[in-house]
């Protein structure tokens, strides 16, 4: 598993509660939906085909018995999708800026 084209990115999801690692490849124009069980996660995005440019450190906590479609905050469930898409877009911009300067 990994990145095969420059229009792809890889999400590496670390479950810090049980030390499991999951990887999901997606296209940049694709909606990102994660199905996470209760626990604490670190989510990193890799935008380089040789796995050398990783951006991450997003900590995400899923509480037991939480309904993600009706969050107990002022944000609706689609807000998190926009946050993730914005972060991935910034990572892509940083990667291509860094690549063009080399």
Strands 20-27 and 39-46 come out as: unpaired
For the chain, the domains span: 8-101
pLDDT value at position 4?
56
- Tokens 């990572």 locate to 91
CA dist 85 and 91 (Å) reads: 10
Under the banding of pLDDT at 50, 70 and 90, the label for residue 6 is low
pLDDT value at position 73?
45
Q: 90-100 in b/e burial notation, b at 16+ Cβ within 10 A?
A: ebbeebeeeee
* Contact criterion met (CB below 8 Å) for 22 and 45: no
What does the pLDDT look like over 66-101, one tens digit per residue?
Answer: 555 444 444 455 566 667 777 787 777 777 777 776
């Amino acid at each position: 598993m990994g990145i095969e084209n420059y229009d792809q990115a890889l999400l590496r999801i670390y479950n810090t509660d049980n030390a499991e690692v999951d990887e999901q490849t997606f296209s940049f124009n694709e909606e990102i939906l994660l199905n996470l069980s209760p626990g604490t996660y670190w989510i990193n995005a890799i935008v380089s085909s040789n796995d050398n440019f990783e951006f991450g450190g997003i900590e995400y906590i899923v509480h037991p018995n939480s309904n993600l479609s009706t969050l107990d905050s002022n944000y609706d469930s689609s807000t998190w999708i926009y946050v993730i898409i914005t972060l991935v877009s910034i990572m892509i911009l940083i990667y291509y800026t860094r690549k063009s300067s080399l």
